[in-house]
Amino acid sequence: MTLAEQMLDTYPADLGGVDRRKLAACITECYACAQACTACADACLSEDDVASLTKCIRADLDCADICFATGQMLSRHTGYDANLTRAMLEACAMACKSCGDICAEHDHMTHCAKCAMECRNCERACRELLDSLG
């Protein structure tokens, strides 16, 4: 059981009809993707051809900020706001899609390959949670 799942199980009030497995998975992916994007941006900075990677770095930085904000929000259940949750999940899925696509363009660099994979994982987790919210 991941720590996010364990924390979810300790919430003292009603979580509503949320799919706990999908919620916990999405929380975990949001923080993991924030870390991977931050590391990828920095790895890009150390590549010889950093000048060709500036859009990738920018996408990484945005994705890290948005994934973190989304992970923080999903970790809270008190006074749940369904519309805001959906809007952030949509924005997060979109950030992960953009960043994943850009990283996948130069996946001969292993940091971009790994980061693209994590962005796909996080995008999927956001979409699956969104679908389960109805």
Contact between 6 and a second copy by CB under 8 A: the answer reads yes
Site string for a second copy, 44-63 (x = CB under 8 A): -xxxx-xx--xxxxxx-xx-
Q: Over the Cα atoms of the chain, what is R_g?
A: 15
The number of residues that bind a second copy (CB under 8 A) is 67
Contact between 16 and a second copy by CB under 8 A: the answer reads no
- Residue 6 CA to residue 11 CA, distance in Å, equals 9
**CA geometry: angle 59, 111, 53, nearest 5 deg:** 45
H-assigned helices in 12-52: 20-45
- Residue 30 CA to residue 92 CA, distance in Å, equals 9
Quick check: helix, strand or coil at residue 49? coil
Residue 119 and residue 12 in contact, taking contact as beta carbons nearer than 8 Å: no
Contact between 10 and a second copy by CB under 8 A: the answer reads yes
> Residue 19 or 73: which CB sits closer to a second copy?
73
> Residue 64 or 128: which CB sits closer to a second copy?
64
Binding residue for a second copy (CB under 8 A) from 26, 71, 125, 126? 71
Enter the DSSP assignment of 80: -
Binding site for a second copy (CB under 8 A): 3-4, 6-13, 27, 31-32, 34-36, 38-43, 45-48, 50-51, 54-59, 61-62, 64-66, 68-69, 71-73, 75-79, 81, 83-84, 87-88, 90-91, 94-95, 98, 102, 109-111, 113-115, 118
